[in-house]
Amino acid sequence: MVEWAGTPIVTTSRLLLRTFRQPDLPLYAALNADPEVARYLAGPLSRADSDDIAEWAQECHAEQGLGLLAVERRSDGAFLGMYGLHHQESVPDEVEVAWRLAYQYWGNGYATEAATAWLEHGFTALGLDRIISITDPPNHRSLRVMHRLGMHFEREAEIEDGGVLFQAVIHAITRKQWTSREDSLPCPCPG
């Protein structure tokens, strides 16, 4: 039985990173149905598929302490999207930091702020040694977030997500790099 308690996991100055609540589900479905948001994510999702992802995220968090969870703006309680740590199906031995933000909230630094909090949580509370992030090469916004986080280009790969294969770039950061905040190496990625 999935619990929809909205349990706080991490707090930043502007954001609350928490498990999903039932009232988040239609907002999350709207985000997942938005063609602009889904542009690099195998396309828009149905409400049922969106709900399934939220349920899977809750289960992952309950079982592993990982999960792509809800993000709420603290100032007004607005649901902004989903961020977190998880095992991506094409690289199951790695932990990925990933995000999906509603289009109307792009350009406000929320992606970097939430991902920073998840990296800190992963390296400190969860004791992870390394975290990756994956995106399509033309997804310049996500690449810029990865670079701001200090992640380093690692390799190109063919990734499967939801049954769809795509060419991707993988960036990574180790706990040592995170704690010392070493400068990023030049990245061959566009943008």
Summarize pLDDT for 66-109 with one digit per residue, the tens: 989 999 999 999 999 999 999 988 888 999 999 999 999 999 99
Query: Which ranges of 14-46 would DSSP assign to H, the alpha helix?
Result: 24-33
Give pLDDT, residue 190: 54
Q: Could you give phi then psi for residue 126, rounded to 5 degrees?
A: -95, -10
Count of positions (residues) in the chain: 191
Give pLDDT, residue 166: 85
Predicted confidence (pLDDT) per residue in 144-187, tens digit: 999 999 999 999 999 887 777 889 999 999 999 999 875 544 55
Between residues 189 and 174, which one has the greater pLDDT? Answer: 174
Give pLDDT, residue 110: 96
**Domain spanning 8-180: CATH superfamily:** Gcn5-related N-acetyltransferase (GNAT) (3.40.630.30)
CB 34 within 8 A of CB 28: no
Distant-in-sequence, close-in-space partners of 132: CB < 8 Å, separation ≥ 6 = 91, 94, 95, 96, 97, 151, 154, 170, 171, 172
| % of residues, the chain, pLDDT over 70 | 95
Strand partners of residue 97: 85
CB 18 within 8 A of CB 7: yes
Between residues 40 and 44, which one has the greater pLDDT? Answer: 44
The number of CA neighbours under 13 Å toward the Cβ of 35 is: 0
Tokens 């999207």 belong to residue: 81
Parse the chain into domains and list their residue ranges. Answer: 8-180
Tokens 């690099």 belong to residue: 40
CA–CA distance, 97 with 95 (Å, rounded to integer): 7
Tell me the mean pLDDT in the region 14-23.
Answer: 97
Residue 191 banded pLDDT, cuts 50, 70, 90? low
Question: Is the pLDDT at 188 greater than 80, yes or no?
Answer: no
- The mean pLDDT value of the chain amounts to 91
Tell me the mean pLDDT in the region 126-146.
Answer: 94
